[in-house]
Chains A and B, each alone.
Chain A
Amino acid sequence: AQTVTQSQPEMSVQEAETVTLSCTYDTSESDYYLFWYKQPPSRQMILVIRQEAYKQQNATENRFSVNFQKAAKSFSLKISDSQLGDAAMYFCASEIQGGSEKLVFGKGMKLTVNP
């Protein structure tokens, strides 16, 4: 069974600074996908970034990048130049390729951005 662990329930960052959100996962599969989702207050959950496990290169989307350490089963999200609009709940998730299409989510982490 897959599990996803987000060990920090809350973090805060100053505007314009960089913050790293941690995530570890456990799977016996070799092919899988990893995701970070963002849920702003009272708003829809949206995909921030995805990583394919067979790709060694870390995914990047503008100010968002990941540090994917496959051997350590670690998948952290780095947010550079933090903005007030980055304040949200962040969820890490994994999906087995060719599996049941189900995502397994971590418990989430609340990010506060201080002006």
Chain B
Amino acid sequence: DVKVTQSSRYLVKRTGEKVFLECVQDMDHENMFWYRQDPGLGLRLIYFSYDVKMKEKGDIPEGYSVSREKKERFSLILESASTNQTSMYLCASSLTTDAYGYTFGSGTRLTVV
């Protein structure tokens, strides 16, 4: 089974801190994605990557950056955390050729205080 692992399930950070959310997948998927999930707003795409060192902005990239130095790892960075970035963050991966949608990680619930 494909596994997508997010390093932290729950995280509490202070305003202004630099925050790293890590995501690792173990099935050689080319595509990786970061979404945030908020009640009533569904899933909103922050950034995605089709390949190592490649990244593209999603719908809400402001205040975030990403890094993909290795194929299996996709990191989301909050440059200076703010309270409005308190949310559930979901990582996902997919294989370009199979059109079977995403495999998701378990999510990281981030609280910025």
Residues of A within 8 A of B (CB): 9, 33, 35, 37, 43-47, 50, 52, 91, 93, 95, 97, 101-103, 105-108
Could you count the A-B residue pairs with CB atoms below 8 Å apart for me: how many are there?
Answer: 47
What distance in Å separates the Cβ of B38 from its nearest Cβ neighbour in chain A?
10
Top 6 closest pairs, chain A to chain B, by CB: A107-B42, A45-B104, A105-B43, A44-B106, A35-B101, A101-B31
B42 A105 Cβ-Cβ under 8 A: yes
Given the contacts A45-B90, A102-B33, A95 and B99 also touching, CB distance less than 8 Å:
yes
What distance in Å separates the Cβ of B95 from its nearest Cβ neighbour in chain A?
9
What distance in Å separates the Cβ of A31 from its nearest Cβ neighbour in chain B?
10
A50 B101 Cβ-Cβ under 8 A: yes
Q: Which residues 90-113 of B have a CB within 8 angstroms of A?
A: 90, 94, 96, 99-102, 104-107
Digitize B1-42: 1 where CB-to-A-CB distance is under 8 Å, 0 elsewhere: 000000000000000000000000000000101010000111
Does B45 have its Cβ within 8 Å of any Cβ on chain A?
A: yes
Q: What are 24 residue pairs bridging A and B, where the CB atoms are less than 8 Å apart in the complex?
A: A33-B99, A33-B101, A43-B106, A44-B104, A45-B107, A46-B104, A47-B102, A50-B101, A52-B99, A91-B42, A91-B43, A95-B99, A95-B101, A101-B50, A101-B94, A102-B33, A102-B45, A102-B48, A102-B58, A103-B101, A105-B42, A106-B42, A107-B42, A108-B43
Q: Which residues of the other chain, B, contact A50 by a CB distance below 8 angstroms?
A: 100-101
B101 A107 Cβ-Cβ under 8 A: no
